[in-house]
Homo-oligomer: A and B are copies of this chain.
Amino acid sequence: MKSSNESVKIDGIDKEILRFLMEDARKPVLEIARNIGISGAAIHQRLRKLEASGLISGSKFIINPKVLGYTTMAYIGIYLDKAMSNPLAVRELSKIPEVLECHYTTGNWSILIKVLCRDNEHLMQVLNKQIQHIEGISRTETFISLDQQIDRQITI
């Protein structure tokens, strides 16, 4: 994989291929080939190159958590005690399956996390019985996402 200060060069055909697959990872290569007018073998070869460059980091099925009854998403800003080693807190947070993201951040908080819960009561349980119990976590600020309006990847 390329280092972060050395951008990979991709041309228009690479972009077309990527745009198709970012929309639908299971779109057949041959279908893409017919769409953009080059052979399947050529696309295959380009994909191998793109994978080798590290630009493609994999593919995922996307699950709709609402269908499983998970309807409450929230961001939580976390203040850590000065004495607390951040990696330890992160390790504890990663054991909580409701925690989907965790960022070290500039600004007020040490850490910003995203959590996904079934409902507000479940969120309260996760906060009071799990997150607040982690050593070094003193105070938290919770922002419930009432509605997510935009959710996308980088524009290629």
Chain A residues with CB under 8 Å of chain B are 1-2, 4-5, 7-8, 18, 21-26, 53-71, 73, 75, 77, 90, 93-94, 97, 99-109, 112-113, 116, 141-156
Contacts of A71 in B (CB 8 A): 4
Contacts of A55 in B (CB 8 A): 63-64, 67-68
Taking a contact as CB atoms under 8 Å apart, the answer to whether A22 and B53 are in contact is no
Contacts A25-B59, A55-B68, A100-B150 aside, 18 further interface pairs with beta carbons under 8 A come to A4-B69, A8-B68, A18-B61, A23-B58, A25-B61, A56-B63, A60-B60, A65-B154, A75-B112, A90-B149, A94-B149, A99-B150, A100-B154, A101-B151, A102-B148, A107-B142, A107-B143, A112-B145
Q: What's the Cα separation between A89 and B114 when bound, in Å?
A: 23
